[in-house]
Structure 1
Amino acid sequence: MSTISSAVDENTDSEFRLATFSADVTPPIGHTLFTGRWRPAEGIESRLEARGFVLLPPRDSGEKPVVCCVVDWSEIRNEAYDRWRDALAEAAGTTRERVLVSAIHQHDTPLADLEAQRILEAAGSKHQVIDLEFHETIVTRVAAALTKSLTSAETVTHLGTGRGRVEQVASNRRYQLPDGTVHYNRMSSCKDLTAQRAPEGGIDPYVSALSFWNGERALAVLSAYATHPMSYYGTGLISSDFPGIARASRQEATPGTFQIYASGCSGNVTAGKYNDGRPENRPILAKRLENGMTAALASTKRVPLTSMVFRRERVRLEPRESKGFTVAELKKEIADTDDARAHGMAAIGMSWRKRADNPKHRIDLPALRFNDGAANLLLLPGEVYVEYQLAAQAMAPDAFVMTLGYGESAPGYLPIERAGPRTIPTSAIGAGLRRGWRS
Structure 2
Amino acid sequence: MATAFVASGRVRAASRSEFHMATFSADVTIPIGHPCMGGGIAPAREVVDPLLARGIVLLGEDRPLVLVAVDWCEIRNDAYDRWRSALAEAAGTDPSRVLVSSVHQHDAPVMDLEAERLLREQRAEGSVCDPAFHDQALRRVAAALKDALGSARRVDGIGTGTARVDRVASNRRYLLPDGSPSFGRTSATQDEYAREQPEGTIDPMLRTLSFWDGDRPVAALHAYAVHPMSYYGSGGVSSDFVGRARALMQEDHPEVFQIYLSGCSGNVTAGKYNDGSTENRPVLADRMYRAMRASWEATRRGPLERVGFRSTPLTLAPRDDEGFSVAELRDRLANDSRPFGQCLAAMGLSWRSRCEQGRPIDLPVIDLGPAVILLLPGESYVEYQLLAQRLLPDRFVMAVGYGECATGYVPTDRAVAEGDTNLLDWCWVAPGAEAVLAETMAKAIGAKT
TM over 0.5: yes
SS of the residue corresponding to residue 123 of structure 2 reads coil
The equivalent position to 1:429 in structure 2, one of 401, 416, 441, is: 441
SS of the residue corresponding to residue 366 of structure 1 reads strand
Residue 86 of structure 1 corresponds to which residue in structure 2?
Answer: 85
Structure 1 counterpart of 2:45, one-letter code: E
Residue 335 of structure 2 corresponds to which residue in structure 1?
Answer: 336
The equivalent position to 2:402 in structure 1, one of 396, 400, 406, is: 406
Residue 124 of structure 1 corresponds to which residue in structure 2?
Answer: 123
Structure 1 counterpart of 2:43, one-letter code: P
Residue 214 (structure 1) aligned with residue 213 (structure 2): yes
Residue 148 (structure 1) aligned with residue 144 (structure 2): no
Residue 354 (structure 1) aligned with residue 357 (structure 2): no
The equivalent position to 1:366 in structure 2, one of 323, 345, 364, is: 364
Task: Give how far 1:340 is off.
Answer: 2.2
SS of the residue corresponding to residue 137 of structure 1 reads helix
Task: Give how far 1:280 is off.
Answer: 0.4
Aligned length: 430
Task: Give how far 1:181 is off.
Answer: 1.8
Residue 246 of structure 1 corresponds to which residue in structure 2?
Answer: 245
TM-score by length of structure 1 reads 0.94
**Aligned ranges 1:87-236 → 2 under 5 Å:** 87-177=86-176, 179-236=178-235
Residue 384 (structure 1) aligned with residue 396 (structure 2): no
Residue 32 of structure 1 corresponds to which residue in structure 2?
Answer: 35
- For residues 8 and 415 of structure 2, what CA distance do their matches in structure 1 show? 48
CA gap 1:432/1:222 in 2 versus in 1, 3 angstroms = same
Structure 2 counterpart of 1:302, one-letter code: R
Task: Give how far 1:180 is off.
Answer: 2.4
CA gap 1:269/1:435 in 2 versus in 1, 3 angstroms = closer
SS of the residue corresponding to residue 245 of structure 1 reads helix
- For residues 137 and 291 of structure 1, what CA distance do their matches in structure 2 show? 35
Structure 2 counterpart of 1:25, one-letter code: V
**Aligned ranges 1:282-293 → 2 under 5 Å:** 282-293=281-292
- For residues 206 and 85 of structure 1, what CA distance do their matches in structure 2 show? 29
Task: Give how far 1:12 is off.
Answer: 2.8
- 249-258 or 4-13: which moved more? 4-13
CA gap 1:80/1:195 in 2 versus in 1, 3 angstroms = same
CA gap 1:8/1:418 in 2 versus in 1, 3 angstroms = farther
SS of the residue corresponding to residue 333 of structure 2 reads helix
Task: Give how far 1:330 is off.
Answer: 1.6
- For residues 130 and 10 of structure 2, what CA distance do their matches in structure 1 show? 34
Over aligned residues, Cα RMSD in angstroms? 1.9
Query: Are the aligned partners of 1:35 and 1:108 in contact in 2 as well (CA < 8 Å)?
Result: no
Query: Are the aligned partners of 1:166 and 1:206 in contact in 2 as well (CA < 8 Å)?
Result: yes
- 177-186 or 6-15: which moved more? 6-15
CA gap 1:103/1:347 in 2 versus in 1, 3 angstroms = same
- Report the identity percentage: 52
- 412-421 or 245-254: which moved more? 412-421
Q: Please, which runs of 5 or more residues in structure 1 have no aligned partner?
A: none
Query: Are the aligned partners of 2:39 and 2:126 in contact in 1 as well (CA < 8 Å)?
Result: no
TM-score by length of structure 2 reads 0.92
CA gap 1:7/1:310 in 2 versus in 1, 3 angstroms = farther
Structure 2 counterpart of 1:75, one-letter code: E
- For residues 213 and 56 of structure 2, what CA distance do their matches in structure 1 show? 15
Task: Give how far 1:431 is off.
Answer: 1.8
CA gap 1:100/1:2 in 2 versus in 1, 3 angstroms = closer
